Amino acid sequence: MNKFFKSIEENYNAKGSCLCVGLDPEVAKMPERFRGSRTAIFDFLSIVVERTHDLACAFKPNMAFFESSGPEGLVQLQRLIGHIREVDPGIPIILDAKRGDIGNTAKHYAKAIFEVFAADGITVSPYMGADTVETFAAYSDKGIFALCLTSNPGYLDFENRDTGGEPLFIAVARRMAEIDRAGNIGLVVGATHPSEAEKVRAAAPDLPFLMPGIGAQGGDPSAIMRIGMTASGLPPIVNSSRGILFPEGEFPAACRTAALETRDLLNKYIR
């Protein structure tokens, strides 16, 4: 277990939580007082961070929501990462970037995520081959989550295709386990497909899972908490975004309530 996953474990033990709060800032869904401001994304998410950090083992900003606001959005992302460091210095930050490329291009992607934005982890696409993931994994103190079994219905198009007697997502899991030399590779495994997720766990018993798909996407916590645990006992990192950022009720109290309820629901099913 490398530095990143040790910090996940430490946060889990200290806070009793395997909840990852996804930071996907849809400005149109924010309370009216934030809209129209140049710093709406930071202003909104900084409050969410302050109200939920003690209930979370990680934060996961989704880069697309910052990039779509142009240069100012990326400035706000950097500012948000700095704010998270101030509020909770020990909590890991996973940038949901889904990068994947070869050679020098991959090196620049990795440098941007880990050195410019100073993230602790990243989501990557492994579909150009293991060498694309190894470039990111060379940062041995970071956490690398390869897309494996995603939570969207379109996983059937490619991830579930037969590859010599087993689905492609199993081939991905096996290959990622083979190249995990630094103990810093995990898998993105959707909470919406528990029977398939169980096959991934069997193929890669030691790789940690980042599991999106609970809440708005309808994933089953009772199933994923059993399946998501590694052989060594590290719980899955279970992400919830919309359910915590935009719950019914008064902001920001409703965000904290949603995070608390989600944490407690997950804990109910830890084996």
Domain presence at residue 162: no
- For the chain, how many structural domains are there in total? 1
Domain presence at residue 95: yes
pLDDT at 222: 85
CATH for 243: 3.20.20.70
Other C-beta atoms lying within 10 Å of the C-beta of residue 222: 11
**22 DSSP β-pair partners:** 60
What is the torsion angle, in degrees rounded to the nearest 10, for the CA atoms of residue 264, residue 221, residue 255 and residue 99? Answer: 130
- The range of the structural domain enclosing residue 31 comes to 3-144+215-268
Domain presence at residue 76: yes
Q: Whole-angstrom Cα distance, residue 82 to residue 244?
A: 21
Low-confidence ranges of the chain (pLDDT < 70): 215-218, 271
State pLDDT tens for residues 35-62. Answer: 999 999 999 999 999 999 999 999 999 9
Domain presence at residue 169: no
Domain presence at residue 240: yes
pLDDT at 220: 79
Q: Kindly report the CA angle at 194 between 190 and 198, in degrees rounded to 5?
A: 100
Catalytic machinery residues: 98
Domain presence at residue 47: yes
Domain presence at residue 199: no
Domain presence at residue 205: no
Q: At a CB cut-off of 8 Å and minimum separation 6, what does 68 contact?
A: none
Say what the pTM is: 0.97
Q: At a CB cut-off of 8 Å and minimum separation 6, what does 139 contact?
A: 110, 114, 184
